[in-house]
Every structure is written in C-alpha cells, then in structure tokens.
Amino acid sequence: MRWLFFCYHPQRGFCFPLIFMRYGFVIDQDRCIGCHACTVACKEENQVPVGVFRTWVKYVEKGKFPHTSRHFGVLRCNHCDSAPCIEICPTGTLYRRLDGIVDFDNHRCIGCKACMQACPYDALYIDPNTNTAAKCHYCAHRVEKNLEPACVIVCPTRAIIPGDLDDPSSQISRIVAQQKVAVRKPQKGTDPKLFYVGVEGDLLVPTRLQQARTYFWSDRRDDDISTETAGTADWGRWTRETYDVAHPMPWGWKIATYLWTKSASAGTILVSAGALALSPSSQVLRVFAPAIALAMLLATLALLVHDLKRPDRFYYLLTRPNLRSWLVLGSYILMAYGASLAAWLFYGAREAVVPVELRCITALLAAGSAGYSAFLFAQAKGRDLWQSPTFFWHLVVHAVIAGSATLIVVGAVAGEGRSLAFLLSEILGIFLLISLVMNIAELVMPHVTQDVSLAMHGIARGRFRVSYWGLAIGLGLLLPAVLVSLVWVGVISLAWLPLPAVLALTGVWQFDTIWVKAGQVVPLS
C-alpha cells in the first residue's frame, strides 16, 4: 500500500504530496555469476575506501572433489523496516527515509560503533577516511533523480532487481508475491527488505560454514577466523567459505575496561551506602569511597570518549540525542551519578554524617550506572550472547564484588577498624559465591539460539577456555572465596584480605573482557 500525504512547505507556500514508499532489493542468485561488478560499481559511485565494502560477493563451495559446486551470495544492508541500527544510534545518524531507504548522515556520527553491533547482517563499517559509520544507502542520490542504484545498472545478468515493494505493478513486488524468496535472519524481527531467489541456505546462515585458513587467492589472519563455527555440525563438513570480506570486532579492551571501572565506581557506593548505617563515622565510607567512585567514573567516561572514532563530537550526545538509545540514556545516568557523588563527597568532607536521602539517591543512581549497560548490549541485536536476561544481574553482582574489594584495599591502606573489614569480607564472600552460581547456571541452562551456544562453547571449551576457567573462575572467584572463608574461620588474619580483594577485581575485569569478545566471535555474514 502506498500512502499519500500533503504538507505545507514554508518556502514554497503551498501543499505538495509526500508519497510513502518501501524501496527494496531482490537478488536472483540463480543469475548471479560472482563477477563483483556490483562491488566495484558501488565503490566507484560512492567513493568507498579500500578495505571496506557496502556490497560484496561471498563465495561458498560445497561437496568433495570431484563432486563440488560453487555458490555466490550478494550481501549488503537490508534496509530493514524495523532497523535496530536506528534505535541504538545515539545521535540520529541513521534514519529511515519516507521511501523506506535506511540512510545515514555522517556529519552527526560520533563513531561509537554501536550500529555495527546492532546490525545482524554486518552491513555497517567505519569509513577510514572520515572515521564515521557508513553502509549501502541504496544510492539515494541517484534514486532522487529517478536513476537506478549503481550496482543494478552494471550487473551483466540483471541479478539485482530494485523497486517499490508497495507498488503491486513493480517487478520486485511481483517476484516477492509469486516466487519463493528468502531473507536473512527473519527471527531477528527487523523486517528486512532484501529478498533472495534461488539462494543456498548456507549463504544465509554463516554458522553453517567451515571457515578455511586460506582463501583461494589469499591468506587469512587468525583473528578473522571463528574457530567456534568451523565444523560444528556434520552437514557443514563439506561446505566451506572460500571468499568473504573482513569484519573485525568493533569493540575491544576499552569497552571491557569501561564495564570494569563502572562496576568499581558503582559498587563502591552501593556497599558504602549500606555500610554507613553500621559505621556512620567511617572516614573510608564518608570521604574515600565517593572520591574513589568519582575517580573511577571519570575513568569510565574517559574510556567511552577514547573509544569513539570521533571523540571531538562527544557533546552530540547532549545536543543531538536519540532518546531511544541506551548509549544516550546511560550517559545521562552517569552524569547524574557524578553530580550525586560530588554532593556526597562535599557532605562527607564537611559533616560527620552523610544525609540518608543523599545516600539513597546516590545508591539508586549507582545501581543504574552498573546495570544500564545490559540494556545497551540488548539493543545490539546482532550479538545473541548479549541478549542474555541474566546480564543485568551479572553487572549488579560484579559491582558489589568490585566495590567491596575496592573498599577492603582502601580500608587496609587507611588503617580502618576490624569490624568494617570483616563486614566487607562477608559481603565480598557472599557475592563471590552468587557470581559462581550464576556462571554455572549460564553454562548449563538451555541456550535459545545456535549463536548463543557457539559463543558459550567459545567461553567454556573454545578460544577463551583458559582465561575463563583459569583467570575469571579459578583466580577470580574460587581462590578469593576460599581465602575469605579462611578469614572467617580464623585460619588466616584480616591482614590477608587485600589479596582476595585484588584477585576478585581481576576476575571481574577478566569476565567483562571475555563477555565482550565472546559475543563478537560468531560471524554475522
């Protein structure tokens, strides 16, 4: 259905019609010969830099010699009606036009790479020349002049069919209505407008493919190979990917460290807010705790800004916010939390008692600071592992662990009394056990998708198994829990408490690092 509206133009002074359309693509893989003409035309038309692609052709080989066949898949942006990249983009860089094209304005982009995580189709990249996000935009500048996209006009077999899906007389509409078509990852609920005819199912489900160490004309870096997906099922034994483009992990150690510093900041206040009821005159809780929390919060903000490809545009989160993005909402929570911390530090340095109301407000903001990242990661719909409903509780538990561990170390340096140290050790020990139970439950409970199973396989038995079992679980949970329990029963003295505290902090950082990386090892295209 095509919708017709009338608008008043302030300069032209009259009403004119606006026609809502839904441009899409059909790619007939029975016609595609894998010539890469569409890729080259796209690069030339849009001046796409070397090393990144808006449209590309993937090669898959099936069978065992001499009974083999080669299949091609043309991959690009799906111009989804419910595009998750638009929802997560913090500054409105990505938007859906009236004609259904999902376009971008690189003058608003801050280079946060969140859209790359939200897209289930690997369609976005960071332009190395502008350090802003880019993707296929349907050659919108040509469409506005009633011209077809560049990839369409150069295709020698007319395998790419564009058009208005809402126009029943268009060729694309007839194909979608009359022929058997397929879309990529319909379970994501994005309503993609890129349809395939005659496509091999393996091309649309990348986890079915064996990833070779070499292509037929080039080598591959080990970082580009997902060992968790290679040969994971018998039916993929003789189906292998022989050509694709590189899709590196958008988020790395900076995001993992940001989660850790945020946990330490929020947890220090969560623990202090409760402990002050028992030790209202403690200088560690009144002064040192908010000072350390504020320092860790500033480190968190510094990491967030440093991870941006355009850090000079960070203020766009305030001046051009998309209030549906948890990157924006989280930034507001962090700023409110910082103001509350400053007030706590002011009262704590001048008064004997921090007001109960201020403690409660700061504790609520601390909990929000610790947990909002779970909602941000949930908006990254391309990464199934991050959709876990337990991630919020992981973050809260980690915050309490990091906070109590930080206060134990600070209390030991400041010479705080034994009663507070023992109380902090009890909190640390209890939450270490809770975290251990949550980790076990995460491993053994049923996984809702194959991508989650593959990511968890990578954590428990794949590339992350040594750091997970050895560092995150062994040194980060089990050993500090044992040491704290020995303090409880009096086998070792309270002077040993900083050791399990430091180990627990290391374990939290290690878990965050593994979680961020493991969510990105499963290929999207």
Q: Which residues pair with 195 in a beta bridge?
A: 26
**For 95-99, 124-128, 133-137, 353-357, which range has the lowest pLDDT when averaged over its residues?**
353-357
Report the C-alpha gap between 248 and 75 in whole angstroms.
17
Q: Which residues pair with 163 in a beta bridge?
A: 24
427-482 pLDDT, tens digit per residue, is 999 999 999 999 999 998 888 899 999 999 999 999 999 999 999 999 999 999 99
Residue 182 Cα distances to 41, 202, 391, angstroms:
25, 12, 33
Terminal C-alpha separation, the chain: 31
pTM: 0.90
Pairing of strands 102-104, 132-134: unpaired
What the block records as the tokens of 335 is 């700023």
Quickly state the pLDDT bin for 281 (edges 50, 70, 90). Answer: confident
Half-sphere exposure of 221 (CA within 13 A, CB side): 6
44-81 pLDDT, tens digit per residue, is 999 999 999 999 999 888 887 778 888 889 999 999 99
Q: Could you give all domains of the chain from N- to C-terminal order, each with its CATH number?
A: 22-243 (3.30.70.20), 253-518 (1.20.1630.10)
Three-state secondary structure call for residue 61:
strand
Quickly state the pLDDT bin for 211 (edges 50, 70, 90). Answer: low
Residue 22 Cα distances to 81, 93, 148, angstroms:
8, 20, 15
305-342 pLDDT, tens digit per residue, is 999 999 999 999 999 999 999 999 999 999 999 999 99
User: Residue 15: which residues within 8 A CB-CB, separation 6 or more?
Assistant: 6, 7, 8, 9
82-97 pLDDT, tens digit per residue, is 999 999 999 999 999 9
148-175 pLDDT, tens digit per residue, is 999 999 999 999 999 999 999 999 999 9
Q: Which of 120, 49, 141, 133 shows the shortest CA–CA distance to 91?
A: 133
Amino acid at 125: Y
Report the C-alpha gap between 233 and 193 in whole angstroms.
30
CB 267 within 8 A of CB 398: yes
